[in-house]
């Protein structure tokens, strides 16, 4: 095994790991954690308190994941012979990769807004902003699924499968 193969395998591993931490954590939050907390504690202020504490801890991992995904993603794009440039749409691979990047940028924007704008105002947050925060959480979870879908297409299109 060459050093190049080992480095690419490690970069891919870290890319997958940070995807699982961020996007997997987001999906588990929406699909299991939030409903379980609401079911156990009801809809009162305790749920809000638990979710604020959870978001505070999870946001650290999200920030680390965002930075790591950008770095590892940049390192992973060049090995494909179909890679044209960032945000190029000249072939199916580049188009899928560009769509993935656009979705991830939208997710980053939503995450930063939820964390830095809505998260900072938690003490005086209105019910309207609280609903917005929840809507954005669900939107980001849906975007995460789309990112994973475009990742699958990108992987399939990276090299001919010979099918």
Contacts of 15 (CB under 8 A, 6+ apart): 68, 69, 72, 73, 76
Query: Does residue 40 belong to any structural domain of this protein?
Result: yes
> What's the pTM value of the predicted model, to 2 decimals?
0.86
Q: What is the pLDDT of residue 63?
A: 93
Query: Does residue 39 belong to any structural domain of this protein?
Result: yes
Query: Does residue 130 belong to any structural domain of this protein?
Result: yes
Contacts of 74 (CB under 8 A, 6+ apart): none
Query: Does residue 61 belong to any structural domain of this protein?
Result: yes
Is the confidence at residue 123, as pLDDT, over 70?
no
Rounded to 10°, the helix 127-158/92-112 angle is 160
Query: Does residue 163 belong to any structural domain of this protein?
Result: no
Question: Domain span at residue 9?
Answer: 3-158
Query: Does residue 77 belong to any structural domain of this protein?
Result: yes
CATH number assigned to the domain comprising residue 58: 1.20.120
Q: Are 12 and 5 in contact (CB under 8 A)?
A: no
Query: Does residue 10 belong to any structural domain of this protein?
Result: yes
- How many Å apart are CA 40 and CA 36, to the nearest integer? 6
Q: What is the pLDDT of residue 119?
A: 72
Query: Does residue 34 belong to any structural domain of this protein?
Result: yes
Split into its structural domains, the chain has a count of: 1
pLDDT in tens, 52-92: 888 888 889 999 999 999 999 888 876 677 777 788 888 98
Which structure tokens are listed for 5? 């193969």
Mean pLDDT of all residues in the chain? 87
């Amino acid at each position: 095994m060459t050093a190049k193969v080992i480095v690419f395998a490690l970069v891919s591993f870290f890319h997958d790991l940070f995807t699982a931490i961020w996007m997997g954590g987001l999906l588990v939050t929406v699909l299991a954690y939030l409903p379980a907390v609401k079911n156990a504690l009801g809809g009162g202020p305790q749920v809000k308190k638990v979710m604020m504490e959870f978001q505070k801890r999870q946001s650290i991992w999200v920030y680390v994941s965002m930075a790591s995904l950008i770095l590892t993603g940049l390192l992973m794009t060049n090995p494909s012979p179909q890679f044209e440039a960032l945000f190029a749409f000249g072939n199916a691979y580049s188009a899928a990769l560009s769509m993935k990047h656009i979705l991830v940028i939208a997710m980053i924007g939503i995450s930063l807004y939820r964390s830095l704008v809505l998260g900072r105002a938690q003490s005086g947050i209105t019910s309207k902003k609280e609903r917005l925060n929840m809507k954005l959480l669900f939107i980001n979870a849906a975007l995460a699924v789309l990112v994973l879908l475009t990742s699958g297409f990108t992987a399939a299109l990276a090299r001919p499968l010979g099918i």
